Amino acid sequence: MPYQAVIGLEIHAQLLTATKVFCGCSTRFGAPPNTHICPVCLGLPGALPVLNRQAVDLALRAGVALGCAINARSVFARKNYFYPDLPKGYQISQYDQPLVGRGELRVASGDHTVAVGITRIHLEEDAGKSLHEGLADASDRTSLDYNRAGVPLIEIVTEPDLRSPADASAFFEQLRAMLVWIGVNDGNMDEGSLRCDANVSVRPVGESRLGTKVEVKNLNSFRYLRQALEYEIERQIDLVDSGQRVEQDTRLWDQATSRTITMRSKEDAHDYRYFPEPDLAPVDVDAARVERARQALPELPAARRDRLMVEFGLSSYDATELTRSRETGDWFAAVVAAGAPAKAAANWLMGEMARTLNDSGLSLADSPISAAGLAGLIDLVERRVINSSTAKEVFEKMWTSGATATAIVDAGGLAQISDEGALAAAVDQVLAAHPEPVRQYRAGQTKVLGFLVGQVMKATGGKASPAVVNALMRRALERA
Ligand code: ADP
Ligand code: ZN
Ligand code: MG
């Protein structure tokens, strides 16, 4: 029997505030353990939380960017459970009255578009971190670092609208891009600032009721998300096919064995004894504040993408690539503003620039070539001062030396030779040296033209204008 997978995601994103959500401690990652703590985030007696306004504004920004309804009043709630990394014995979260309600994000996945409903977005605090490894006494004790306790998070919950691991991964990727684009989250999955829990069930195709779901916790890469879902879907189908039932539980992805393993049986909301947080007032957000959040949004990826297609005539592929991050989009705009034609700017950014950044493990912000510098190089190609293979060489030299394209071309005598008189001799020499290809060309095997042109390029140290050589060569071959 064919089955359909049903997937809903819960994504935790750390908000880019300087301080924690209920106290003034720093949120900076990587500090020595337990140096960013105070009575409030440690839950010491008598300490009272004070809500960070900036955290609310960032959560609102995420809400409006995802087209969500904003709730005029939301309420913090205590989620009670014991775990050593949770010093208060409860997490301050939001429960039945979250800050942000329903919305939608449409994402591209392969050749189709998926509209994924956002159920809600709520604000909460992060827990601390248990350290099981790397310390001298790790074999007989667990150490605790509370620096992360109280760091502001949003949890974004989706509707069970996803139907495949590939779509889920595309959604997570594009949601991440959106959060980074609007300055809400740094997108750093290795440091744990963005994590995903995946809920998944299977049902026979055509069935409208949902199957029993399993939750796989804490997936911190797109690949793990996809692999965990693929494994889990297969496991569930095997169970159902062999007449067994899927048990509702909470699982972990084990990279070492490429399997999901059960962590605990699923807890229910009532296990957490949620109740309204008595130490914090409800959050009232008036229409003006929502409007300010909306006004403050930058142009969003989808709008930017459409504009690139309309304004510059770029293909949908190019426009999508150039809006994968705001940095790329803004860089493209800067190269074009410095005078480069859009298509050439797009090709250089997605080609040579992307490849070189990737090889050196850098991001655009660290590029030794500026947007104006790249526009200068493109200009030399456009004006046919250099040909495109020389341009790649010049790009490399710009990268390592920081010099301008013009300076490099002048110093190296790299300007291309377009003068027909200067090239005619080289063409004649090549023709004389290669009688066999010449004969083949004249016998109708015109493919050999490429070889002959290549010989002239070689003879001129790559500086000949390929267009001029082509024309001269054709003329010479067809003359006889
Ligand atoms: P819970 O009560 O277990 O927290 P929720 O209804 O709040 O469950 O949903 C949590 C997440 O699980 C949401 O992302 C939702 O879309 C997803 N989800 C709910 N039911 C299913 C299901 N049967 N199969 C797959 N995902 C589901
Ligand atoms: Zn603190
Ligand atoms: Mg729930």
Which DSSP string do the residues of 123-145 spell out, in sequence order?
EEE---EEE-SSSTTTTT--EEE
The CATH number that domain 420-477 falls under is 1.10.10.410
Beta carbons of 52 and 68 less than 8 angstroms apart: no
State in Å: Cα 22 to ligand 2 middle: 7
Residue 201 · residue 175 · CB < 8 Å = no
CA torsion through residues 117, 20, 217, 167, sign: positive
Query: Whole-angstrom Cα distance, residue 112 to residue 339?
Result: 35
Mutate to test the pocket of ligand 1, among 167, 213, 271 (most ligand atoms within 8 A of CB): 213
CB of 200 sitting under 6 A from ligand 1: yes
Distance CA 24, CA 37 (A): 9
Q: Domain extents for the chain? A: 3-290, 299-412, 420-477
Phi and psi angles of residue 337, each rounded to the nearest 5 degrees, phi first = -60, -30
Q: Round the CA-based radius of gyration of the chain to a whole number and report it.
A: 30
Residue 181 DSSP one-character state: H
Q: Are 252 and 263 in contact (CB under 8 A)?
A: yes
Tell me the CA–centroid distance for residue 36 and ligand 2, in Å.
Answer: 7
Ligand 1 pocket test, candidate residues 122, 161, 163, 199, most atoms within 8 A of CB: 199
| Nearest protein Cα to ligand 1, atom 19 | 160
Q: How far is the CA of 142 from the centre of ligand 3 (A)?
A: 29
- Collect residues with CB below 5 Å from ion ligand 2: 23, 25, 38, 40-41
Q: Is 213 near ligand 1, meaning CB less than 6 Å away?
A: yes
Indicate the pTM of the whole model: 0.85
- Hey, is 83 helix, strand or coil? coil
Q: Can you give the pLDDT of all 480 residues of the chain as single tens digits?
A: 799 999 999 999 999 999 999 999 999 999 999 999 999 999 999 999 999 999 999 999 999 999 999 999 999 999 999 999 999 999 999 999 999 999 999 998 988 999 999 999 999 999 999 988 777 777 888 899 999 999 999 999 999 999 999 999 999 999 999 999 999 999 999 999 999 999 999 999 999 999 999 999 999 999 999 999 999 999 999 999 999 999 999 999 999 999 999 987 777 777 899 999 999 999 999 999 999 999 999 999 999 999 999 999 999 999 999 998 999 999 999 999 999 999 999 999 999 999 999 999 999 999 999 999 999 999 999 998 998 889 999 999 999 999 999 999 999 888 888 888 889 999 999 999 999 999 999 999 989 999 999 999 999 888 888 889 999 999 999 875
Phi, psi of 424 (to 5 degrees): -60, -40
How far apart are alpha carbons 350 and 364 in whole angstroms?
Answer: 11
**Residue pair 81/272 in contact by the 8 Å Cβ criterion:** yes
